[in-house]
Every structure is written in structure tokens, then in C-alpha cells.
Structure 1
Amino acid sequence: MDPQAMMTSIMSLALGTTIVTSSNHWIMAWAGLEVNTLAILPLISKSHHPRAIEATTKYFLTQATASALLLFSSMTNAWFTGQWDITHLTHPTSCLILTAAISMKLGLVPFHFWFPEILQGSSLTTGLLLATVMKFPPLTLFILTSHSLNPTLLTFMAIASAALGGWTGLNQTQTRKILAFSSISHLGWMTIIIIYTPKLTSLTFYLYCLMTAAIFLTLNTNKTLKLSTMMTAWTKTPSLTSTLMLALLSLAGLPPLTGFLPKWLIIQELTKQEMTSTATIITLLSLLGLFFYLRLAYCATITLPPNSINYMKLWQINKPVNTPTTILITLTILLLPMAPMILTIT
């Protein structure tokens, strides 16, 4: 891809995200979301492969539908209340339509079908943007309007996302699809607590972005797109592949790794809200995700490929690991002891 076009797309992404996060008016927020959508399309289709073009088309149609629903929701609210302010969403019909619109933009169940296919048709770097940066603007709108949304509906969608994200990820062999279903499952954890503690949703999202970025960049360094190629990753970058196992377990939420912190806090907050049964259900559903994270870790570090002697030559290749990947991997593994400081800041 041409460097100037790449720079234009990245700057447009930053502009669109800034517009959404700093706006109080629904029209400005909608415009920011549209800028984001148009900016990511060239990045998805940059390989000019038919699968990439198909993913671009699917993404455009899905996001255009979601944006139309969001605009319709804000217009309905303005018609009945005379308010265009984001925080003054009060009409029940508008709240319901907005929930559907933002769920479609994020990839929450039952509007999740587009996300795995689009991530599979994108490169790993573009997939990283889709799984992290592109979720930030709609999640911001979700947080701003959380006080007006239906808690029962959001709880149902959150549990369904955690269940379906874990269940459908079990039989996947493509790493990008596994990470897509992982994203859907994590969105369930963010959504279930958004009404009660929006700040905890933000913290969960930031830590999720940190862990997902570390895994995407590691897979990109090793050029790993499916489970079978993960078996030879240890011959290219042994130390990085070893830490990848810990990063995957952190994303699964195992103590004493970073990913345990948000899940622990969410379970604690749900218990305070007298939602112990809900906390129990979503905790048990996280075991489904743990299975395919362990499967990835097993393929990366324990399984040997056939004729492993032929791969020993790759040990001589000193493939450099860039600094951002190293920093992200370290934070993904070792951030839990800093939990008191993180909680003080948030």
C-alpha cells in the first residue's frame, strides 16, 4: 500500500475517533463514526485478494446499517424530546434502537456474524485495528448512554456473547477467527458491567487492547495464521513464542497474570449488585474460552511438527523482535502487581 495512502487512513482513524469521543451532539458522533468506517476500508482491502474485497464489502454494509440505525435512534429521540445531546437519550424506543446499532458496530451477539469473517479476510495488523481501535468510538457512546439503556437486555446480550464467543471458538483452526471470537467473549464481560460501573468497562477495554495487541503483534512477527503453522513458530523466535503462551493465558484471565484483574473486579462488582448468579454463569462460560487459549498455547510451545530435524536450521536465524511487541508482552504478563495503582488512577 502506498505510504501516503496509509498515512491518510491512519490520520483519518485518529480524527474520527477524536470526533466521537469529544462530541456531545449525535450528528457529530455519527460523522466521526463514518470517518472511521471510510478510513479503515482501504486498510482491509489493501491486499486486493478476493477474500479481502469481500471482507471490505461486508464491513461497509454492516457499518452503514449500524450508522443508519444510530442516526434513526437519535432523530427519534430528538422528535419526542427535542434533545440532540448524547447524554439526554430518554425515549424507550430510541434506547432500544441505539442498543441494536452499537451492538452491531461492536459485534455483540446477536449482531456478531460479520466480525469473524471480516477479521479472517484482513491482515493481522488490520485485524488488530478492527479488534481494538475500531471498537473504542462505539464503546464510548455505549458508556455515555449507559444510564438510559435496559439492564436486562444488556445482561442477556452480555451472557450470550460470552457463551457464543467461547462456544464457537472451540472448533476453529485459524488464529484470526479464534481472536475474533475471543473479542466477542470479552465484549460480553465489558457489557455486563457497563450500567453499574462504566469506569470498570473502560479499564477492561484498555487491558483487553493491551493483551490483544501483544498477541496480534507476536503472531505477525512469526507470520502465524493457523494452528498448524504455530507448531514451527518456536524455531523462528523461541523466546517470543514462549512468552506468547503466557500472554494467551493472560487473555484467558488466569491469575497471577494481567488478564485476571478485570475479571476479578467485574465478578466483585456483580456480587455487590446482588447478581451472584449472573457472575457465576459468566465465570463458568469463561472456561470455554480458556480451552481454546490453552489449545493455542499448546500448539505454540509444546507440540512439535513432523520431521522436526528439518526445522532445526531455523534456530540459526536471529530474527529481531521489535521493542513495542516486547513492552506489550511484558505488560500483558506482569501488570497484576500494579493493580492498586491502576485502581487509584481509574
Structure 2
Amino acid sequence: MKRFLLFAAVCTAGVLWAARVSLDGGTLIVPEPGGGARLDCRARNGEITFPFNPVKPGYAEVVLPRPLPLGIFRSARIAAKVRVPAGSPVRSMSLRLLDRNREVFQYVSKADFARGGEFEVVWQVKPEQFQLCWGGDANRVFDMPGSVLGFAFDFAGGAPASSLTLLALDIDTEAPPVRELPGDKALLPLYRFDRDELFRQRGGQGLIVQQPDGVLLKDIKGEFIITERRNELLPLRGRPAALILDAEVRQGELTAFAILRDAKGVPFTTPELRLQREGAPLQFDLGAILEEAVLPVKMDNIFFRNSAAANGKVLLKSAALRTVLPAAEALELEVETGTPVHVLRKGGEAALALRFTNRSEKAGNFVSTSFTRISTGPG
């Protein structure tokens, strides 16, 4: 008996490994009465220098060209490596994060910059333990997912012209545990990204290249959207609790998210998570997102966003669903054809006939079934 296993799946923990983020620039804003000076600063050899003139005490803001997605996180360690000249008037640096409603949250890290040189400024972030917040819906609650808006630093006055140079930025986030849904759970394969699964571009700018070890998305500028190359999207089994994507970034700074649709066509969007160069799989929590979805749900589109100046490139290896299965869907059925060409003989259609009997006292509906594993005869 020969069996064909249609997919391979990968599982992951809820931690996103530390990654160095590449930045191509930022805008320096020095607030002043009636307005403020703005200066666009570009990266040179991987470094971004922000010059300022501390005639009197004040502070400066650094706004990134695009917010850096953090996804849904329980805690984060964000470290900025900076360089300042000797006698620097900088007294402290603040990290500024955005929540999904564009409310700004500020976290402070103090250091003695007066001796000059290179420093690592570290923020151990618990979303609810902020110093200040403003803007957005002003509810003082960090509504996930979050992103990095930029930085701020305050300085003493009466000093000569100075500067602060950003050398590197490392981000390490810990995702919350996947929400547990009642019922038996199974890890089901979704995509194996091989030649039997064809994907097409749905929007944005990029190229899809099939490779022996997966699907390579390359030349990604800004946003790139892919979808299954099928006339009708296939419904997913059970109630998905988590989507697990195994992908490896080859170039750029990439994030990903997906849109699913329920039986009524209502869209549900996952959090936007950062893809890792080390290839650590991403886990998207679907439990809360699909709480109001009418089953079955279908995958609609997968979005990739590149925040770097260089074109993005990512290898998609596999995808799986952690799914709550109703009792009927938890059955595994095998069909043996007994023929070398892997088809049923005429008259053998009864091998596919299924009969369901409802022995409970409650009314019930039976949904259509699909086969995910086929056993064939010799050859």
C-alpha cells in the first residue's frame, strides 16, 4: 500500500527571536514655540546622524519613515546603539510606540552620555508600564498590535552644536500564549509551497519564483500580495486557533499578515508580524480574531510588506493550522483504490460512500467532507 502525505507542517513557540532592524533614515524634529525645525536625515554606511543645536534646554523627536511593526506582544526588549561626542548634552532617550488606534506610548531610559562614545540604550517594555501617552483614541490602553514610531531625547542648554548618531537597532519581542479554545486540537498542514500548489500575485510589486525548497518572493517593493491560484478558495477544516508560517527572509525588512473570510464573506485580518532572517516560524493567534466568524473560513490573501530601501526577498517553506476539530472532522478516512493508476475501478464507487447517523437527542447538520490522505494500490 502506497500512501501520499500531502503536506509537511512546522510548529513554533510564542517567542520572536531578537533581530537587528535596518533603518534608512528618519526625521529630526526640534519643537519650538509656534512650530519646530524639521530635518530629514538619511543613513550613510548604516549610520544615521541627527544634528542639533542645544542653545537652551529642550528635546528632539526622531520619527521613522515607516512605523516598525511589533505585532501582538507581551513584553519587548528594544536596544538602540548610539554614538555621541564628548560633553554631549543628551540626558535621556525615550522610545515611542504606536498602538493600533495610533495612540502614542512613551518609555524612558536614562544614561550618562556626558563622557561621549558609543552606548547601548535599552528599553525593557511592558506595554502597560508607560511613562506618557497621547493622541489616537486617548483611552490610555495599549491596543495591540503595536509598532515603533521613533525616539525622543532631551538635552541640557548652553552647549555647542552636537549630534546623536543611531548605529543599530535590535528588537526582541515575546508573543503572548496562543488563546486556548475548548475542544480537541490538531496541527493540520495548510501549504507546502511546492509545484503542486500554484500561487499568483494579487497586488503590489514583486515576483513569485518556484524553487525546489519552496516559493521565493523577490523584488518586493512596499507591499506584495499573493493568493492561491484556484478558481474557488478551499474552506479550512474546523475552527482555526493559530496560523503557523515557516519563512526565511533573504533580504529587506519584511512583515506579513493574512486575511481570511468566513462563510458570509466577512474578512478577518491577522496581526502584522515581523519575519525573521534566522527563519524562526511565525505564529498568528486566530482564536480571538475568528471568535465571531461563521464557519467554515477560507484563506483569502497573504500580505508582505518591506520597510527597507532595498528590494525584499523571502522564501516560503510551509504553513500549518492549529485547529479545533469537531468530533466528525476529527475522523481520518483512508480510501484504497487497488489499482496502479490510483483511480477507482468502475463499480467501485461504493468505497467513497459515507453514511452518518445522529444518535444524540439534538438536531444536527452534517457538512460536506473532504479527503486529505489517499491510500493507493501497488505502484
Higher helix share: 1
TM-score by length of 2: 0.21
Please, what TM-score do these two structures have when normalized by structure 1?
Answer: 0.22
Q: Look at both structures and tell me which one has the larger radius of gyration over its CA atoms.
A: 2
